[in-house]
Amino acid sequence: MSLTYNFSGKVVLITGSSGGIGAATAVQFSRAGANVVVTGRRADNVSQVAKECLKVSPNKSRALEVVADVTNNEDLKRLVDTTVKHFGKLDVLVNNAGAAIMTGVSDKQYYENHLRVMQINLNSVVYLTHICVEHLEKTKGNIINISSLAGMRTSMYGSSYCASKCALDMFTKCMAAELGPKRIRVNVINPGPIRSGFLTAMGLPNDASDKFHDKLGQM
């Protein structure tokens, strides 16, 4: 089945869009005619995704590139302010940026790692939602939070990641109830494992990551 979406004139901000799911999301929105904001910590990756967006954009809309770190609230405010100043509005916020650090509760760096995972996976979403509501209310916009199946199941040494995604799921439900009367839709997506470089970023060797995904493909 082939589905065609038309997002011409819509402004879509996607965190963590310099790679993986976020990059693919940015390209798809661009293909549907949206004005996309590509953001991440590495300028070279941000620029590469922006070029891919331009290639598929039916109206040759150039993506707005913003280098930002979601753990820094000043960066997030600059990201939103730059978006609204450039495009004049915001229609869709996709909270995609995420991180996982596999560590046991007795490990020396456990608490520091836990705080970092929570800051990226949950706190950044809360803050962005907080500062974007005024803009999304004007456009009767949408918030899409990218969670994980990990929020619904246990994982050895993945307590922080699982907890952050479980909290994100409930935050989404609460925001859907709270912002619905403002005509802002809030939804969450819980993807399973995807071959995107996420596992290697967690510290898993490339060959082990490949074997893991190959095994999933046989199920």
Order of strands, sheet of 92-95, starting from the edge strand that comes earlier in the sequence: 64-67, 35-40, 11-14, 92-95, 142-146, 185-189
Task: Provide, rounded to the nearest whole percent, the portion of the chain with pLDDT above 70.
Answer: 87
- Asked whether the predicted pLDDT for residue 43 surpasses 70, the reply is yes
Pick from 92, 81, 68, 70: which is nearest to 184 by CA? 92
Span 151-184, pLDDT tens digits: 898 988 999 999 999 999 999 999 999 999 999 9
What mean pLDDT comes out for the span 76-80? 99
Catalytic residue numbers? Answer: 161
Model pTM?
0.88
pLDDT at 211: 46
pLDDT value at position 3? Answer: 61
Look at residue 116 and tell me whether its pLDDT is greater than 90.
yes
Q: What is the pLDDT of residue 172?
A: 99
Enter the tokens of residue 141. 């916009």
Q: 95: closest CA among 79, 112, 109, 78?
A: 79
- Candidate from 4-8, 191-195, 199-203 with smallest mean pLDDT: 199-203
Question: Per-residue pLDDT averaged across 24-38, rounded?
Answer: 98
CA 131 from centroid of its chain's CA atoms: 16
Mean pLDDT across the chain, nearest whole number? 91
Percent with pLDDT over 90 in the chain: 83
Domains (range + CATH), the chain: 11-218 (3.40.50.720)
Whether the per-residue pLDDT at 216 is higher than 50: the answer is no
* Of residues 33 and 207, more confidently modeled: 33
